[in-house]
Amino acid sequence: MKTIGHWINGEHVSSVTANTSTVFNPATGAEQAQLQVATAEQVNDVVAAAKAAFTVWGNSSLSQRAKILFAFREIMNHRVNELATAITDEHGKVLSDAAGEVQRGLEVVEYACGLPTLLKGEYSDQVSGGVDLFSYRQPLGVVAGITPFNFPAMVPMWMFPVAIATGNTFILKPSERDPSASLLMAEMWKEAGLPNGVFNVIQGDASVVNALLDHPDIKAISFVGSTPIARYIHGRATANGKRVQALGGAKNHSIILPDADIDFTAKHLVAAAFGSAGERCMAISAAVTVGAVADPLMARVAELAQEVKVGSGRDTSSEMGPVITVDSKKRIESLVASGEAQGARLVLDGRGYKVAGFEEGFFVGPTLIDGVTTDMDVYQQEIFGPVLSTVRTDSVDEAIALINANPYGNGTAIFTSSGEAARRFHREVQVGMIGINVPIPVPMAYYSFGGWKDSLFGDHHIHGPEGVRFYTRGKVVTSRWPEFTEASGASFSFPTAK
């Protein structure tokens, strides 16, 4: 069976280790590779390589960095299909969706190509007699990214293009479920001319993550994953004096007002709930209906949900693939069962879903649950599967209050034809990313991505301007070039402008 190792200092590194983790093909259920979990020595090796590379990369010219980023973009553009296929085989999502996540990641690379502009500082002439003042930002050093299974290319690309463009060296610890995309991207960096040690990949589980969180030579941690782990990462790494941005889980609500277009809304809800088998941090998980829209809307949603083509991600006619593991399938199915047991109405039941020819695959069919209330497990937990719950409310106030009472605050959307309602919604809702008739409001790369409340721990959202700030720190220089004829202005009192 194939083994998957690391990328350290510009080379594939494999090791004989007893500690491995199985990578499955979720569509067939077959084991397809063994992932080597890095040893403590390998973690030290990768940090040492990144630290040595920083002495050169941190001093490289802006134009040299920009040229390499442009080359990386070109290479990835040519290899999108190869990358998408690797993602589909390990994650399960359909090929077009995998290519879409690569495209969204590339947009961050394109943003980072503008680094000479992004890193421009400020200059104030003559702040005092003969004194000028300027500020600029410098890289932090070695930084690490720890990423989830659901976007094995895009989420790392939320981090490393900006980190590398701003002069840092980067260590990626991808998800152990779908690690191959990270190694393909490492090869692309090498082909683009990135010096060895600037981009590295270390594979593993919690033991490897802990070693990164505790390593004194790592200056910052970017994390994306579930809320309990995000909270833990933030606590441990900040206690170790590191800068941390830790993006957590989500429970995304969409509110639908009586003046929304039923067909438009239903189509978008179905795509946003079941695309990528609901394994998107911005997937719509709860449809919050206001008033009389509920019955006609849910009837149309049910019709459309039954038509979703579920199958292997490799089959280009599939719209939705399997979920990531057999454990995930069991967890999702048991949450659906709990919803029914707690009094919700199962409109469409995707449990026990079988795809002909893929009987061992980890499939869950589109599932619709109506009459969900906020005390039910199916509402309170992040399901991360193809399950759409409907919560019925009587007013916009009730709907907004419900969203604000939820501990998560990643994404939300409103479907309406009222500008006044939309404006009120985006101003009052305590969520980081908001869609107005847009169900999955993932910001473009030149804005920053991030949630509120339990969906993000730390001060910075990811990529865009906040990413540039996260991976750099500011310096302010006060400068005077006097003619040394007199010690004018030398004073024992605190300096003030003259």
Binding site for ligand NAD (CB under 6 A): 146-151, 155, 173, 175-176, 205-206, 209, 224-226, 229, 247-250, 281, 382, 384, 410, 451, 455
Give 150 or 254: the residue with its C-beta nearer to ligand NAD. Answer: 150
Question: Backbone phi, then psi, for 407, in 5-degree steps?
Answer: -70, -25
Classify strands 218-224 and 142-146 as parallel, antiparallel or unpaired: parallel
- Least CB distance from residue 295 to ligand NAD, whole Å? 31
User: By beta-carbon distance, which residue lies closest to ligand NAD?
Assistant: 225
Contact 141, 168 (CB under 8 A): yes
**Minimal distance in Å, beta carbon 382 to ligand NAD?**
5
Kindly state the smallest distance separating residue 174's Cβ from ligand NAD, in Å. 6
Minimum CB distance to ligand NAD, residue 130 (Å):
49
Q: Given the complex with ligand NAD, which of 455 and 472 has the nearer CB atom?
A: 455
Beta strand 11-13 with 6-8 is antiparallel
Cβ proximity to ligand NAD: between 13 and 282 the closer is: 282
Q: How far is the CB of 456 from ligand NAD (least distance, A)?
A: 7
For tokens 């069962």, name the residue.
337
- What is the distance between the alpha carbons of residues 277 and 318, in angstroms, rounded to a whole number? 11
Annotated active-site residue in 281, 305, 369, 456: 281
- Quick check: 137 and 472 in contact, CB under 8 A? yes
DSSP 8-state code for residue 37: P
CB nearer to ligand NAD: give 136 or 452.
Answer: 452
Yes or no: say if 83 and 184 are a contact pair by the CB < 8 Å rule: yes
- Name the residue nearer to ligand NAD (CB basis): 88 or 150: 150
Tracing tokens 């930002």 back to the chain, one arrives at: 137
Burial code of 268-287, b = ≥16 C-beta within 10 A, e = fewer? Answer: bbbbbbbbbbbbbbbbbbbb
Judge whether 278 and 385 are in contact, CB under 8 Å.
yes
What is the Cα–Cα distance from 426 to 305, expressed in whole angstroms?
A: 28
Longest dimension (CA), the chain: 90
CB of 93 to ligand NAD, least distance (A): 13
Phi, psi angles (nearest 5°) of residue 151: -135, 80
Q: How far is the CB of 317 from ligand NAD (least distance, A)?
A: 27
What is the token pair recorded at 366? 């589109």
Q: Which two tokens stand for residue 52?
A: 């040595």
- For residues 213 and 207, what is the distance between their CA atoms, to the nearest angstrom? 10
| 3-class secondary structure per residue, 264-311 | HHHHHHHHHHHHHHHCCCCCEEEEEEEHHHHHHHHHHHHHHHHCCCEC
- Which parts of 63-198 are beta strand (E)? 122-128, 131-139, 142-146, 169-173
- CB nearer to ligand NAD: give 206 or 341: 206
Shortest separation between residue 258's beta carbon and ligand NAD, angstroms: 30
Q: Can you tell me the distance from the alpha carbon of 477 to that of 222, in angstroms, rounded to the nearest whole number?
A: 29
Nearer to ligand NAD, 179 or 311 (CB): 179
Nearer residue to ligand NAD within complex by CB, 75 or 438: 438
Identity of the residue, 54 or 232, whose beta carbon is nearer to ligand NAD in the bound complex = 232
Q: Which amino acid is at 417?
A: S
Q: Could you tell me the smallest distance in angstroms from the CB atom of residue 202 to ligand NAD?
A: 11
CA–CA dist 68, 74 (Å, integer):
10
Determine the straight-line distance between the first and last CA of the chain, rounded to whole angstroms: 74
Any bridge partners for residue 138, and if so which?
473
113 is catalytic: no
Radius of gyration, CA atoms only, the chain: 25
Residue 171 in 3-state DSSP?
strand
Residues forming the active site: 281
